[in-house]
Each structure stands twice: as structure tokens, then as C-alpha cells.
């Protein structure tokens, strides 16, 4: 059985992430969405539990996808879960340098291969951080994130205002 990991911070999950997760789920038997819990990504808007809850809601139609947290080296987590592949989305050339370096490092560390899926053009400008910035100032993000996430963002920033 081929298991793939889709790692990220998902703070919060966007339509760009979901597109990659859905497409990965078509090619692998089992997909683990691996939510990073490393401390270097500070300043998160949503707690790990909130991110997990939102992800659950958004992937519930995909029977071969599950959500897990990971800490430390992704390749160790991959080995523990029997995953032989990592799948990442590539938005633009600017993603490429870093992603290539990380893929090569992970290959060297563990033999685990990274596969890249090119973003769907309508999502190539989307990132969680930009979505949060737009939502914070009252912009409409309803075409960029699933409805449950849009609602949660709106609620969060109304509270803050």
C-alpha cells in the first residue's frame, strides 16, 4: 500500500492546500496530512486543535485521507507511519529553490522521495499568511478558503476588532 504525506502548517487550510490533498488522494492509497507542531513557526493564528478540526471538516469526503501532527524530522515521522513519499504543492518558481533543497535533504536522510504537484492556476497566489492578512482587514476570502474556514476567520477577526 502506497502512503503519502502532505506536510504543512495549515494555519488555516486554504483551497490551494485542499486542491493538492485531493489530487494526492487520487494517486496514493493512503494520505496523511501532517500538521507541523515545531516551535519555529511561531505566531500561529489557530491552535493545532483548531487547525486539525478545520482540516477534518474539509477532507471528510476523502476516505483515504487522515490528519496527524508531527514534531521533529518529517522523514522520521514518514518512517514511523510507513510513508514512502512526500507530496508538496509548487506555486511559483519562488517555492522551488527551498523545496528542491529540502527534497534532496530528505532523500539523503532517508531515501524518501518528494513528488511535486503544480498548483492549479486559480490558487497559485494563495498562501495561508496572505489569506489571514486579507481577512484581518475585512477582505473577502470566500473564494480562497472553504466556507467553514471563512466563517472561523471572520469570527476571529471580529473578536479582535
Residues lying near ligand ADP in the complex (CB under 6 A) are found at: 8-10, 14, 16-17, 20, 88-89, 91, 95, 119, 123, 126-129
Q: How far is the CB of 28 from ligand ADP (least distance, A)?
A: 15
- Give the DSSP H/E element, type plus range, for residue 159: helix 147-160
91 is catalytic: yes
Q: Assign residue 86 a region: left if phi > 0, alpha if psi is -120 to 50, beta otherwise?
A: beta
91, 110, 136, 142: the catalytic one is 91
26 is catalytic: no
41 is catalytic: yes
56 is catalytic: no
Q: How far is the CB of 96 from ligand ADP (least distance, A)?
A: 10
Q: How far is the CB of 7 from ligand ADP (least distance, A)?
A: 6
41, 71, 108, 129: the catalytic one is 41
Amino acid at each position: 500500500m502506497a502512503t503519502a504525506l502532505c506536510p504543512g502548517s495549515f494555519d488555516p487550510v486554504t483551497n490551494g492546500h485542499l486542491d493538492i490533498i485531493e489530487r494526492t488522494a487520487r494517486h496514493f492509497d493512503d494520505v496523511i496530512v501532517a500538521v507541523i507542531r515545531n516551535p519555529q513557526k511561531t505566531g500561529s493564528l489557530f491552535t493545532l486543535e483548531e487547525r486539525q478540526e478545520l482540516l477534518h471538516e474539509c477532507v471528510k469526503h476523502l476516505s483515504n485521507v487522515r490528519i496527524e501532527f508531527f514534531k521533529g524530522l518529517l522523514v522520521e515521522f514518514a518512517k514511523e507511519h510507513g510513508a514512502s513519499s512526500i507530496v508538496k504543492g509548487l506555486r511559483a518558481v519562488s517555492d522551488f529553490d527551498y523545496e528542491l533543497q529540502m527534497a534532496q535533504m530528505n532523500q539523503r536522510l532517508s531515501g524518501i522521495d518528494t513528488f511535486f504537484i503544480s498548483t492549479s492556476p486559480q490558487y497559485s497566489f494563495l498562501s495561508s499568511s496572505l489569506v489571514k492578512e486579507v481577512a484581518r482587514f475585512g477582505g473577502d476570502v470566500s473564494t480562497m478558503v472553504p466556507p467553514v474556514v471563512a466563517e472561523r476567520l471572520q469570527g476571529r477577526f471580529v473578536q479582535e476588532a
